[in-house]
Amino acid sequence: MSSAVGVKEDLSAANGADAASSSRMTRAAWQDFAGLYPTDEACLASFLALELAEVLQGAKPANLVCLSNKRRSCGRNLYLLWKEHGAALLEESGLKVRVLDDRGSSILLLLYSQEALGALLAQKSVRSILDKAGYDNVHDFDAVLDELEARVTGEGFPHEIGVFLGYPLKDVIGFMGWAPLAFTCQGPWKIFGKPEQSLRLAECHRECRSRMSQRLASGCNPLDCLRDRLGTVADSYQQQGAPFLAAS
């Protein structure tokens, strides 16, 4: 199984059924405004700004981005554009990247905030989960990412990757079968146990993406969207600090 397929099937990620709240709207699609950005660099920047909306706005520590080595409907190949412009664009954003898998036909990226992901991985509860999952040195940030990368490129797929994406820990361990929690509902990820806080977090993610989509659809410079690390998160969590930490 390819890493990209594993992400889609094992995590029921963002393209899945989105039942997080009664105010649910259609998930913002990059294709809706890709034509506004005619240069290769701006095209890739607009894609990354939307895919990283939750991270840029402080609602998630990291996101997975999979780029296929083929032309999109806009006529561009984002895999090749990433190879050419990705490093420079990330430098603009202040985010970091770990290439989890590059098969030539596609590339799977973990794009993250060093500060936010570091704070998450330093939590005792998170370290306990990673230790139980077999990570050798849970106190070493780079060693943890090295282990994650090795697992992604190995056999199967590491279900604990949900921890790195800021999903509530109860949902991660429920999905892994480590806790007697009933499957409650399907949002952007599978939700176990009491759903309220998980649904609020999912709505927070949607608000971040919607906000970024509106900026891009209005013709905002996508480089500015990557540079502007907004100080506030979505309305659902305005008084909560980092929402992924609150939900854990």
Per residue in 205-221, pLDDT tens?
999 999 999 999 999 99
**Whether residue 238 has pLDDT greater than 50:** no
User: 186 - beta bridge partners?
Assistant: 190
For residue 156, which amino acid is it? G
Per-residue pLDDT at 237 exceeds 90: no
| Amino acid (one-letter) located at 200 | R
Q: What is the pLDDT of residue 21?
A: 37
Residue with tokens 């979505």: 234
Question: Reduced to 3 states, what is the DSSP secondary structure of residue 55?
Answer: helix
Over range 139-145, report the average pLDDT.
98
Look at residue 23 in the predicted model and tell me its pLDDT. Answer: 37
* Residue 32 pLDDT class (50, 70, 90 cuts): confident
Which pLDDT value is given to residue 110?
98
Q: What is the mean pLDDT of residues 228-236?
A: 53
**Which residues, 6+ apart, have CB-to-CB distance to 24 below 8 Å?**
18, 206
Amino acid identity for residue 94 in this structure: G
Rounded Cα gap, residues 17 and 10, in angstroms: 14
81 touches 118 (CB < 8 A): no
Rounded Cα distance, 108 and 99, in Å: 6
Which residue in 3, 34, 14, 10 sits closest to 106, CA to CA? 3
Task: For residue range 90-127, list pLDDT tens digits in order.
Answer: 998 999 999 999 999 999 999 999 999 999 999 999 99
pLDDT at 239: 44
Residue 116, classed as helix, strand or coil, is helix
pLDDT attached to residue 65: 97
Distance CA 108, CA 126 (A): 23
Q: What is the pTM of this model?
A: 0.83
The span from the CA of 15 to the CA of 245, in Å, is 23
Q: How does residue 73 score in pLDDT terms, banded at 50, 70 and 90?
A: confident
- Say how far apart CA 248 and CA 125 lie, in whole Å: 9
- CB-CB contact of 78 with 44 (8 Å): yes
pLDDT of residue 245: 64
Percent of the chain clearing pLDDT 90 (strictly above): 71
At 9, is the pLDDT very low, low, confident or very high (cuts 50, 70, 90)? very low
Tokens of 150: 């090795």
pLDDT, the chain, mean? 85
pLDDT tops 50 at residue 20? no
Confidence bin at 234 (pLDDT 50/70/90): very low
Q: Which amino acid is at 166?
A: G
6 vs 197 pLDDT, higher one: 197
